[in-house]
Structure 1
Amino acid sequence: MLKYSAILFDVDGTLIDSAPGILHTLEEVFHTMGVDTTNVNLRRYLGPPLRKSFGEHFSDKAKIEEAAERYRASYHEKGSHECAVFPGVPEMLRRLKEAGLVLCTATSKPTRVVTPILEEQGLAEYFDFIGGASMDESRDTKTAVVRYVLAQPMMQGKRVLMVGDRNDDMRGAADCGLDAAGALYGYGSREELEPFHPVILAKDCADLADQILHMAE
């Protein structure tokens, strides 16, 4: 018997290389709101919730909300199309699905934002449930998103693994009592992920699928 019966996937940096669209949109929003990003490493905002990232530059809650709204409007129009599926993702998802695993997403992108992206990239069909953040602050952390997905009917009684590429993914898994797998091909690093003791560190999608499918109870 496989050790896990359900897998939760982060999206940005785990399934989809969405860096170009995210970075272009962040640059646009910061510029229009008067923030000089010359010495800011915007890549560290790949993955974490929007409000968390904007909170580093705006102390006023209304400004943070304005930045988030500007970002989402622009990202919907342009940035969401500036992405590509990581090599091997469809094959990985197909293998896991054929093995009988329940597949869900657990992403900091709002559900209504990530769903059309997954559809456009041909990945939506592999998922039993597309779980994401809410548009407001009610479900705005990775931990809250993971809890939301775990509460879904198809997840009851399942042995669950969380797959992601950033420390937010590892922390969300730990907060919910789940094992985690780290995608080293994403936006994080071994140094960022190892302190959370992931049960898997995968160099690519084929490696990730191999390790999941060879872990038995």
Structure 2
Amino acid sequence: MSFFSNSAAPDRFDAAIVDLDGTMIDTVGDFVAALNRMLDELGLPHVDAPAVNAMVGKGSEHLIHSVLRHVAAPGTEAALYHRALQRYLHHYLDVNGRHSTVYAGVPEGLQALRARGLRLACLTNKPTAFARPLLTAKGLDGFFDRVFGGDAFERKKPDPLPLIKTCEALGTSPARTLMIGDSSNDARAARAAGCAVMLVSYGYNHGEPIRAVDADGFVDSLDELGPLI
């Protein structure tokens, strides 16, 4: 049975744009490791995985602001921010991929999309310098025609600009492109860009129930997408 409405019929898709963190790879362990190294240098308390899970998804800058608001003394966030971001990026480059795992069904799902002739792009709010090595380390880079990080365009998801630009790079139109993600960021960007959107039921949705998000459908694993496309 198709999850898609008539306006987003599967036979209309020429391409798919796939989110990274929380959609293809569980990267919370990497985030926690890098953040806690940063916090050690700043003399601040550690954060744990449940707290970080609710903070990720809107780019490194937003993550650092959120963490500092969570652990730093009120009124000190602004003074700490720039050093915190610099040290976080330094440490993340070192731990990238060490504490992360590919979700079950991801390679199979990507292969099914490619087998149907879809062009694929990875679009993430993670910096490009982190996204590309992570995909390579996990053996997923070969599935994608293009990879764009959060620094690739002037604005990040949930703004529609990254999706529109990614469609242009793939040579497809938003109406013929499926967005696959794990959060309201992905869904809001897709809706504004004119893409259909499928969300996975796991991942990081800022601590909110994923099935409350406006989407065309939900899957529990990317390998469920094959019969739908």
Whole-angstrom CA distance in 2 between matches of 1:174 and 1:33? 40
Q: Which of residues 57, 63, 81 in structure 2 aligns to 1:53?
A: 63
Whole-angstrom CA distance in 2 between matches of 1:207 and 1:189? 24
Cα shift at 1:121: 1.0
Q: Which of residues 44, 47, 56 in structure 1 aligns to 2:54?
A: 44
Provide the secondary structure at the position in 2 that maps to 1:119: helix
Q: Which of residues 22, 25, 36 in structure 1 aligns to 2:34?
A: 25
Provide the secondary structure at the position in 2 that maps to 1:108: coil
Cα distance, 1:65–1:86 mapped onto 2, change above 3 Å: same
Q: 1:69 corresponds to which letter in structure 2?
A: Q
Name 1:120's counterpart in structure 2. 137
Mark the runs of 5 or more structure 1 residues left unpaired by the alignment: none
- 1:134-182 Cα shifts (integer Å, max 9, x gaps): 18x9444442432331331523576111111122222222232222111
Name 2:127's counterpart in structure 1. 110
Q: Which moved more, 1:125-134 or 1:152-161?
A: 152-161
Q: 1:54 corresponds to which letter in structure 2?
A: I
On the 8 A contact 2:97/2:137 being kept in 1, the answer is no
Q: 1:51 corresponds to which letter in structure 2?
A: E
Provide the secondary structure at the position in 1 that maps to 2:45: coil
- 2:171 paired with 1:162: no
- 1:115-135 Cα shifts (integer Å, max 9, x gaps): 111111111111111111218
- 1:56-95 Cα shifts (integer Å, max 9, x gaps): 33652x7434322211211111233321211111111111
Cα shift at 1:3: 2.9
Cα distance, 1:154–1:66 mapped onto 2, change above 3 Å: farther
Cα distance, 1:157–1:38 mapped onto 2, change above 3 Å: closer
- 2:202 paired with 1:185: yes
Figure out how many residues of one structure are paired with residues of the other and give that number.
210
Whole-angstrom CA distance in 2 between matches of 1:80 and 1:72? 14
Q: Which moved more, 1:17-26 or 1:32-41?
A: 32-41
On the 8 A contact 2:13/2:176 being kept in 1, the answer is yes
Cα distance, 1:31–1:177 mapped onto 2, change above 3 Å: farther
Mark the runs of 5 or more structure 2 residues left unpaired by the alignment: 1-9, 70-76
Q: 1:177 corresponds to which letter in structure 2?
A: G
Whole-angstrom CA distance in 1 between matches of 2:207 and 2:226? 18
TM-score by length of 1: 0.83
Q: 1:26 corresponds to which letter in structure 2?
A: L
Q: Which of residues 7, 12, 15 in structure 1 aligns to 2:21?
A: 12
Whole-angstrom CA distance in 1 between matches of 2:157 and 2:39? 22
Among all aligned residue pairs of Structure 1 and Structure 2, give the percentage whose two residues are the same amino acid. Answer: 24
Cα shift at 1:112: 2.2
TM-score by length of 2: 0.79
On the 8 A contact 1:183/1:208 being kept in 2, the answer is no
Whole-angstrom CA distance in 1 between matches of 2:148 and 2:110? 16
Once superposed, what is the RMSD of the aligned Cα atoms? Answer: 2.7
Cα distance, 1:31–1:189 mapped onto 2, change above 3 Å: closer
